[in-house]
Structures are given as structure tokens and as C-alpha cells.
Amino acid sequence: MIAKLATWILALFGWRVDIVPPPEPKGILVVYPHTSNWDFPVGYLTRLAMALPVSFVGKDELFRWPFGAVFRWLGGIPANRRASTGLIGQLAAEFRRRDWMWLALAPEGTRSHVTHWKSGFYRLAMEADVPVGLAFIDYRTHSVGVREYVRMTGDAAADMERIRAAYEGMVGRRPELAGEIRLES
């Protein structure tokens, strides 16, 4: 019922949902492009439309009063971006501990323009040995979802080329802010 309602709300605002179900009970969803605050409500409605529990990582500032409890209830996990806290190892341990875990990440790490993606999603996928779902919010076509799942091979250049090809033509709400699909050299 909630999935149908979320799909209806998205359709009401002109969004088409395009989802391939996850191939396994554990994995990472990278969400690209991430250029606007509107990405969260569109993405969360898509999460509901998928009818699958998906957690997400957000900057720890979002988890302070008065909204912290709400973001945690929605499945949020705070990340301190100002200090190295071993988050990748902690998340990998969570993947090993749980029977079901899909985690959404914005690899750009911000809505501002960046020259490369943060490597955390890649390192986590390798350490936890989970697939990566290529989630998207395409404002050009008003489509949102997940069309493809890939496994990281350890050849970062080849893996990123495959990811770049999958996102070809996707446009964020503010296209000038979309980060380059590559890891830092």
C-alpha cells in the first residue's frame, strides 16, 4: 500500500519510477547525480516505492536536534566528515552482522560541484563483498530508480568507466553542480 502511494505521489509530480529489484539481500546504492536538496524527498519516495528497507548515510549535522531522531527513524546513519572515524570498517561489520542491508550513498559527498567521487563506496563494496546498485535521479527525463547492479573488481579505472557509461546522459536538478564520475588519482 505504501509503495503504491509513493509511486502515485512521484507520478503526480511527473516522476517515472524505473527499478530493477536487488539481486542479493545486501548491497550499496550509489545515488547520482546529487545536486539539490530536492534529491532527498524524491529519493526517499523512491525508497518507499521500492518497498525495500534501505538505510542511508548523511552528514552528522543532519542528525542533530530537532531532526536527528526523524532522520534515524527514516534509516539514516550519521557520518562525521570532519574526522577519520573508521566508518568504512564499521559499515562493513554491519554488512557482515545483518541478514539484509542495502545502504544508499551519494558518492559526490555533497551537493556542490566536486572534481571526483569519494572512494568510500568503492572501498566498502570491496571490503563487504557486496554489489553496487547504480541509483539515479534524472531531472531531464523525470525518471528515478535503479537499472543496474555491478560488482567492483578491484580495477578501479575499469569499474569507474563502467559506472560512468551507465550514468551517461543523466542530469541533476542543477547540472552545473554534478561531480565528475571518477575517483581521486
Give residue-wise pLDDT tens across range 29-68.
999 998 999 998 999 899 899 888 888 877 788 888 988 8
- Local confidence band at 83 (pLDDT 50, 70, 90 cut-offs): low
Distances in Å between the alpha carbon of 98 and those of 5, 26, 102?
A: 28, 9, 10
Higher-pLDDT residue of 82 and 143 is 143
pTM for this model (two decimals): 0.86
Asked if 31 and 135 count as a contact pair (C-beta separation under 8 A), the reply is: yes
Q: What is the rounded distance in angstroms from the CA atom of residue 147 to the CA atom of residue 149?
A: 7
How do residues 90-119 score in pLDDT, each as one tens digit?
Answer: 889 889 999 999 999 889 877 788 888 999
Provide the residue count of the chain. Answer: 185
